[in-house]
Amino acid sequence: MYPSPLILDRHFFSKVEVNSHVDGNPKAINLLNFQLELGKSPDNERLAQLILKLKIDPPTDQKSTYTGEIHAVGLFRVADNWPKEKIDELIECHGASVLFAAVRELLLNITSRGPWPPVLLSTFSFMPPKAKPVETSPKETESAKTV
């Protein structure tokens, strides 16, 4: 295990809105929308603020038990030995993962006290894919399972 080149100095939530819907369908699966906003210090390119905005919308065909919006703000520093050309990628990928984990935990804590079962968001990767996934035919998939 090695220390991360990305250091979280602090984080906070600038918006927390969670709405419970008494007439919601507990089986409805919410739609999640993410937005990232990266701001860098004009004096030091290794200091940054990243905002993760998560919007929890109901599916188009039914009402869900919870909806809302949460904004998490992280203040980050990047280690001096990290390459300058990779700073934004590091912050957007790993910083977003750190903030998403905080949002995930906050939402679980809030909904644990609500009238419906608690909401535990799935984990997500903010790392851009290196290559497009290779599609296989059903026959190839079946043979791969039996080997």
In a domain, 135, yes or no: no
Domain count for the chain: 1
In a domain, 137, yes or no: no
pLDDT-wise least confident of 47-56, 102-111, 134-143: 134-143
92 by Cβ neighbours in 10 Å (0-12 / 13-18 / 19+) ranks as: middle
Residue 27 in this model has a pLDDT that exceeds 60 = yes
The contacts of residue 7 (CB under 8 Å, 6+ apart) are 76, 77, 78, 79
What would the mean pLDDT of 19-39 be, rounded to a whole number? 94
Residue 110 in this model has a pLDDT that exceeds 70 = yes
In a domain, 50, yes or no: yes
pLDDT tens track for 53-107: 999 999 999 999 999 999 999 999 999 999 999 999 999 999 999 999 999 999 9
Backbone angles phi and psi of 133, in degrees to 5 = -60, 140
- Domain with 48, as residue range(s), is 6-128
In a domain, 133, yes or no: no
CATH code for the domain of 24 = 3.10.420.10
pLDDT tens track for 124-133: 888 876 766 6
